[in-house]
Structure 1
Amino acid sequence: MRLLLLLVLPLLLLAGCTAAPDDPAPPRPRWRPAPGLDWQWQLSGRLDPGVDVPVYDIDGFEHPEGTVTDLHRRGRKVICYLSTGAWEDFRPDADAFPEAVLGKGNGWEGERWLDIRRTDVLEPLMAERIDMCGDKGFDAVEPDNMDGYANDTGFPLTAADQLRYNRLIARLVHDRGMAVGLKNDLDQIPELVGEFDFAVNEQCAQYGECERLTPFVAAGKAVFHVEYELPVDRFCPESRRLGLSSMLKKYELGVWRESCQGGQGGQGGQGYAPAPAPAPVSGGTPVR
């Protein structure tokens, strides 16, 4: 018996060492943008990758993985712009959305509100879009049209419907290791600030609403903010006081920007250095 144990024991030890698979690598920590980060938001025109800012927000469909890789090489974090609350007739997956979930137009050509109550239909479609962002290497997602309940969508959407849907989108993004931003939807910030990693806002200064974004800053989370109609001296002092990442843009959201953090001007802003063959942006993308 003792001889048998001596013969078998090494085999058992060897099996114990080899049978268990290697522990999987820990997931990459999710990016958590802090208040005050300067940024560039470009959704139209030929992408200029040389604006000297740490964060870029670009269209997820229009740009290939190589564009994201190039921006990473330049030291940028990159946000994937997607519409998650409205259908767009110019997207490659437009035919996958049944007519039953398409509501009224949302004011942009070729776009209609979605019936966000129909998560049985929308969850797999949005998961595919978010997978696309992850596969291209984006660090975060900016889901747009996240406040349908406050608009005339053609559906009887409630605040509870919106909270449920916005939380679903946040979970889908987080499950894929990316950060997610809450776009506008100021009324639901108290309920959602804990589930989103940053905010994106348009024109809070023009409408006297920027104070409502302070829960994100208080939680150590960035608020990426743009104005279109106010000169910078009308909103930058207050934006700095509140800790917002603010800039002036034109409605077409091209290259031009004037930042409260100091970056100004047209092509390239500060530190412009053109990259080889940056990816063009389709002219079909509407102005946001």
Structure 2
Amino acid sequence: MRIGLGGQRVRRVLPAALALTVLVSLAACRPELAAPGAPTNWPSGSSGRWQWQWQLDGPLDLTVEAEVFVLDPVVTTAAQTAELRSLGRRLVCQVHVGSVRPQDPDATRFPPQVRGAVAAHTGRSWLDVRRWDALRPVLADRFRLCRGKGFGAVLLADADGYAQSSGLALEFDDQLQFNRRVAALARSLDLSPGLLGNLGQVAALAPDFDFAVDEECVRLARCDKLLPFVDAGKPVFHVEYTGTLTEFCVTSVGYGFASIRKNRTLDAWRLPCPLP
């Protein structure tokens, strides 16, 4: 069964011998999953051929037919990650490296002097990324939580405070240095680093990161800014929240992205673009 461009399910029946041949061929082509304790590998020949899921809300659906899962490392249990890994899934934990919420388990570890303005739409306080000595120990422990639960990659969220109303005098170069430091920290803890958004620094940061995640580049007409990842053979995982697959898949898949349609709440529901 596959998903058509309109989101409808289309069933094809293969002769038994042909089906077996297809399954064997797919198994032979599937990149080997990194062992626990090793960073996730992203073979360049597969960069535009991943099916992925991004779920941060609601009961985790372990049955989604996706090879890559982006999840919240705090609420996701070790038992869930173990089950997903047993199915050959690649696991990415999303970590907010440039902000903190009052309800975060480690919120008290961020002193007032490293906090900036509160983002009205998320309730998260921006962090002063120039204070590396203060932020590094907390971020390292966030990454160790990911590693301990079996994640092999980390997605860096809120890594663009310099371009936001952070209440801090952050410059482009301040953010660039911080993001490179965080990527290096992730690698030192055996996690493959990925960049969420921050399109203004993609050209400079693509060499430092292994993959990217983007929201609504088709609707916002800015997909070309992610080409440094594509040109380097690195995967770009892309999501749109509006429109039909017919409307945006041709564009995003044409760029070489792995694309899906999601609700903005990032619950379990998804519609994937067909692979090229």
Q: TM-score range by the shorter chain?
A: 0.7 to 0.9
**In structure 2, what is the equivalent of residue 45 of structure 1?**
58
User: 1:116 aligned to 2:116?
Assistant: no
User: Contact 1:116 / 1:122 at 8 angstroms: preserved in 2?
Assistant: yes
Q: Is the 8 A contact 1:232 1:248 kept in 2?
A: yes
Q: CA deviation at 1:261?
A: 2.6
- Indicate whether 1:138 and 2:148 are aligned: no
Give yes or no for the alignment of 1:198 onto 2:211.
Answer: yes
Match of 2:208, SS? Answer: coil
Distance 2:114 2:38 in 1: 35
| Amino acid aligned to 2:149 | K
CA pair 209-222 structure 1, distance change in 2 beyond 3 A: same
What secondary structure is seen at the aligned counterpart in 1 of 2:42? coil
One-letter amino acid of the structure 2 residue matched with residue 164 of structure 1:
Q
In 2, Cα distance between equivalents of 1:147 and 1:235:
26
* In structure 2, C-alpha distance between the alignment counterparts of 1:154 and 1:230, rounded to whole Å: 34
Displacement of 1:178: 1.5
Aligned-residue sequence identity (percent) comes to: 39
Give the distance between the partners of 1:163 and 1:97, measured in 2 at CA.
21
Distance 2:137 2:191 in 1: 18
Instruction: State yes or no: 1:246 paired with 2:256.
Output: no
Please state how far the C-alpha of 1:215 moved relative to its aligned partner.
1.2
Q: Which runs of 5+ in 2 are unaligned?
A: 1-36
Instruction: Supply the distance in 2 between the matched residues of 1:29 and 1:103 (Cα, whole angstroms).
Output: 32
What's the C-alpha RMSD, in Å, of the aligned pairs? 1.4
Structure 1 equivalent of residue 92 of structure 2: 79
Deviation at 1:137, TM superposition (A): 1.2
- Taking the aligned partners of 1:143 and 1:182, their CA distance within structure 2 comes to 5
Aligned residues: 236
Moved over 6 A (4+): none
* Matched residue type, 2:251: E
CA distance in 1, matches of 2:53, 2:240: 13
Larger Rg: 1
Alignment-derived partner of residue 31 in structure 1: 41
The structure whose RCO (Cα within 8 Å, separation 6+) is larger is 1
1:185 to 198, 201, 205: 198
CA contact (8 A) 1:167 1:195 kept: yes
Q: Which residue identity does 1:71 align to in structure 2?
A: L
Q: Where does residue 138 of structure 2 map in the other structure?
A: 125
Alpha carbons 1:38, 1:245 under 8 Å: kept: yes
CA distance in structure 1 between the aligned counterparts of 2:141 and 2:95, rounded to whole angstroms: 11
TM superposition shift of 1:123 = 0.8
Q: Helix, strand or coil: the match of 1:138?
A: coil
Unaligned runs of 5+ in 1: 1-26, 263-288
